Amino acid sequence: MAGEKITIIGLGLIGGSIGLALKAANLSNLTIVGHDLEGSAMRDALKRGAVDRAEETLEAAVADARMVILAVPPLAVRLLLEDIADLLPEGAIVTDVASTKGEVLRWARRYLPQTVSFVGGHPMAGKEESGVRAADKDLFRGRAYAVVPAVNATEGAVKSVLGLVEILGAEPIFIDADEHDQYVAAISHMPIVVSAALFTLVRNSPSWQEIAPLTGPAFRDLTRLASGDPHMNHDICVTNPEGVVHWLDRMIAELRRYRDLIMDNHEELFATFSAAQLQREAYLAGTDRPVRQRIEVPSAGDQMSTLLFGSWMTERVKKYEQMMKRMEERSRGSSTAPDDGGNG
Amino acid sequence: MAGEKITIIGLGLIGGSIGLALKAANLSNLTIVGHDLEGSAMRDALKRGAVDRAEETLEAAVADARMVILAVPPLAVRLLLEDIADLLPEGAIVTDVASTKGEVLRWARRYLPQTVSFVGGHPMAGKEESGVRAADKDLFRGRAYAVVPAVNATEGAVKSVLGLVEILGAEPIFIDADEHDQYVAAISHMPIVVSAALFTLVRNSPSWQEIAPLTGPAFRDLTRLASGDPHMNHDICVTNPEGVVHWLDRMIAELRRYRDLIMDNHEELFATFSAAQLQREAYLAGTDRPVRQRIEVPSAGDQMSTLLFGSWMTERVKKYEQMMKRMEERSRGSSTAPDDGGNG
């Protein structure tokens, strides 16, 4: 076989977008192979140019692959890890894009052979439409991309996944799996439930026929996540129940706080809305937090295939090693609870 | 004075966008006058061409006006109604754009002289940015626009406001004030609280510095309403507390329902997410409700000035009168509660 092979399993919005970004990078000596349970997804991915080739069986898809990207919902990651464990070539790098990482890392440890490196990933990107037809090579540009290496992942594997993140134009963030699940529960998993609950509550009101014509951009934006793939939304809640319930309980308490202010304390209500507006302005401007330390990886697309061999990074390796060390220190030194426990 | 004068009081995003749309309609014999407490808003409105002239005093702004548009938050509507009551010329039409209508209609009845017609309005439009600099003549295009005439409003006044809605490109919906407040509490007022609460909850977490870099489009979209003008958000809650608290209580109950499903019933959780996805698809496609009966008003811009005189609508007047009758029947025949009262 000429060059290196990267396999994307799951050709939906995320898998398709990764394929398009890899193809757009014009990497020499690299073949992008795709696989999906749905024949139509494979045909669409080929038509859109998201993959060079589609393989109908997992065996053929995974054979000789240097890197395997699992772009499926969390519970499907588990099934795939079991299925591909014996098919993976020695030294293969496996990564995923699932929204929860604790269970995924435990499954990888349980199912994958020691000769394989697992480096979990989670791009903080998405949009209302789903499927490879909605795929976009720029979907990840400027977005955070959580990188969660298994303890036994080789340095070369971690660097290769960093290279992938770089090609996608995303910003890699090293993070511990359980920490990831708590933090992302706050900003993504619990909000999915809030968004779906807002929609089902209003949609199932007997007055829906009167209400619907009045709806505007606010209702549409806030209920956007109710349109998410139900498998994914279900799997997220099922694989991170502690995180979701923890933040749901806090959200309910926060809604009660606002409720009390509306009933009893309009001055404080105004102060709360004012502070929120100012703080969100600072959040959008990025002025409420230190400048993020960017992980430097090569930006030229053609270095991706070099990356797969792990034979690069000389100056840059120092920065990378410093980041890894900081992450290790942090995960040793601190609990995974994202808050002071006051509402736990 | 040549032609007719329309006065916009409050030159923010909404007032400025109305001005731009009126100017873009190129109505002959029409002068758009603007007033704002902030000199900078008046200067910006002039610079953007949202008004023909700015007046520094309410007296001058309102003098000889055929129509006065109050584009300010709810509580400011009250102050303005008090202030302009004695300044308005006989036969003037007053409308507003405030997000709540029950209190506004009661204030109009209390403060305005009988010689003046009040027709409340509420465009279901908005965006993250505020101020006249963010104004956009197409802000209202295709959006619902609630029209809530006072009982003593003349037919000519109602038709003139319908003409305004038409020029903005919005879809007029006749609705009773209290019904409006209950329905809009579900899709706008309560969601403002949800959006603000989600933001303040996560923003004030001790882990914010770790969480913020991971945030993506989901968190940004769902917290968008936290960036709303705190005066407006406050005024909405204060002028529609029953509506907001009613729907907040139901939202909390719905979040508890999801919480229980996450803990105990994953099958039902999946069914709930699946139904939400399908129902939202139908909602976006508009296939879950009857085709909205469009109120027909003239689309040619130049008829606006005719409208102000109330001397048009021959064929069309029948349709309009039918709609008014339907609304009256409905408001006589039904309670204003938007649901079956099960959670009330």
- Listing DSSP states for B204-266 in one string gives TSTTHHHHGGG--HHHHHHTGGGGS-HHHHHHHHHHSHHHHHHHHHHHHHHHHHHHHHHHH-H
Count chain A–chain B contacts defined by CB atoms under 8 A.
Answer: 314
Q: Is the pLDDT of residue B27 over 80?
A: yes
The C-alpha atoms of residue B111 and residue A274 are separated, in whole angstroms, by: 30
Question: Is B249 within 8 Å of A258 when comparing Cβ atoms?
Answer: no
The arithmetic mean of pLDDT across residues A170-180, rounded, is 95
Give the single-character DSSP code of A89: P
Poorest-pLDDT segment among A180-189, B122-131, B171-180: B122-131
Chain B residues with CB under 8 Å of A222 CB are 191, 194-195, 221-222, 224-225
Any A CB within 8 A of B195 CB: yes
Question: Is A211 within 8 Å of B283 when comparing Cβ atoms?
Answer: no
Chain B residues with CB under 8 Å of A234 CB are 266, 269-270, 273
Question: Is A279 within 8 Å of B186 when comparing Cβ atoms?
Answer: no
Share of chain B above pLDDT 90, in %: 78
- Here the tokens at position A311 are 């034979």
What is the H or E stretch that residue A144 is in? strand A144-149
The C-alpha atoms of residue A143 and residue B81 are separated, in whole angstroms, by: 48
Q: ipTM of this predicted complex? A: 0.85
Chain B residues with CB under 8 Å of A338 CB are 205-207, 210-211
Any A CB within 8 A of B299 CB: no
Parallel, antiparallel, or unpaired for β B117-123 and B93-96? Answer: parallel
Which positions ≥6 away from A167 have C-beta within 8 Å?
A: A21, A22, A25, A27, A301, A304
Q: Residue B274 burial by CB count (10 A; 0-12/13-18/19+): exposed, middle or buried?
A: middle
The arithmetic mean of pLDDT across residues A326-336, rounded, is 55
Alpha carbons within 13 A on the beta-carbon side of A236:
28
Collapsing DSSP to helix, strand or coil, B318 comes out as helix
Poorest-pLDDT segment among A165-169, A171-175, A251-255, A325-329: A325-329
Residue with tokens 């999915």: A192
pLDDT, tens digit, for every residue of A243-301? 999 999 999 999 999 999 999 999 999 999 999 999 999 999 998 876 655 555 544 44
The closest alpha carbon to B104, from B81, B87, B86, B125, belongs to: B81
Model confidence at A154, pLDDT cuts 50, 70, 90, reads very high
Question: Is B266 within 8 Å of A238 when comparing Cβ atoms?
Answer: yes
Longest dimension (CA), chain A: 72
Q: Order across the sheet with A117-123: list the strands.
A: A53-54, A30-35, A4-9, A67-70, A93-96, A117-123, A144-149, A171-174
Model confidence at B320, pLDDT cuts 50, 70, 90, reads low
The closest alpha carbon to B98, from B84, B114, B77, B129, belongs to: B77
Any A CB within 8 A of B85 CB: no
Question: Is B273 within 8 Å of A234 when comparing Cβ atoms?
Answer: yes
Q: Tell me if A4-178+292-333 shares its fold with A180-285.
A: no
The C-alpha atoms of residue B314 and residue B294 are separated, in whole angstroms, by: 17
Evaluate whether B145 touches B122 at the Cβ level (below 8 Å).
yes
Question: What distance in Å separates residue B150's CA from the closest CA in chain A?
Answer: 20
Residue of B101, B136, B192, B202 to mutate when probing chain A, most A C-beta within 10 A: B202
- CA A331 to each of CA A10, A236, A240, A337, B288: distance values in angstroms, whole numbers, following the listed order: 31, 23, 19, 11, 49
- Here the tokens at position A327 are 């992450």
The architecture that CATH gives domain B4-177+293-333 is 3-Layer(aba) Sandwich (3.40)
Q: Is the pLDDT of residue A218 over 50?
A: yes
Evaluate whether B50 touches B69 at the Cβ level (below 8 Å).
no
The winner for highest mean pLDDT among A23-32, A162-171, A271-280, B127-136 is A271-280
Q: Does domain A180-285 have CATH number 1.10.3660.10?
A: yes
Query: What is the rounded average pLDDT for all residues in chain B?
Result: 88
Residue with tokens 């690299």: A30
The closest alpha carbon to B54, from B66, B44, B67, belongs to: B44
Q: Per DSSP, what are the bridge partners of residue A173?
A: A146
Any A CB within 8 A of B129 CB: no
Alpha carbons within 13 A on the beta-carbon side of A64:
11
pLDDT, tens digit, for every residue of A29-88? 899 999 999 999 999 999 999 999 999 999 999 999 999 999 999 999 999 999 999 999
Chain A residues with CB under 8 Å of B180 CB are 214
Options 3.40.50.1450, 3.40.30.10, 3.40.50.720, 1.10.760.10; which CATH number does A4-178+292-333 get?
3.40.50.720
The C-alpha atoms of residue B186 and residue B336 are separated, in whole angstroms, by: 13
Question: Is B262 within 8 Å of A193 when comparing Cβ atoms?
Answer: yes
Give the single-character DSSP code of A187: I
Model confidence at B327, pLDDT cuts 50, 70, 90, reads low
Dihedrals phi, psi of A123, to nearest 5 degrees: -75, 130
Predicted pLDDT of residue A129:
84
Identify which of A144, A220, A338 has the shortest CB distance to residue B207. A338
Domain boundaries, chain A: 4-178+292-333, 180-285
Question: Is A212 within 8 Å of B276 when comparing Cβ atoms?
Answer: no
Nearest CA in chain A to B227: A277
Residue of A205, A219, A280 to mutate when probing chain B, most B C-beta within 10 A: A280
The C-alpha atoms of residue A263 and residue B106 are separated, in whole angstroms, by: 21
Nearest CA in chain A to B206: A339
Q: C-alpha angle B160/B162/B166, rounded to 5°?
A: 115
Q: Is the pLDDT of residue B288 over 80?
A: yes
Chain B residues with CB under 8 Å of A205 CB are 186, 338-339
Model confidence at A322, pLDDT cuts 50, 70, 90, reads low
Identify which of A207, A209, A263 has the shortest CB distance to residue B339. A207
Model confidence at B110, pLDDT cuts 50, 70, 90, reads very high
Q: Other C-beta atoms within 10 Å of A46: how many?
A: 17
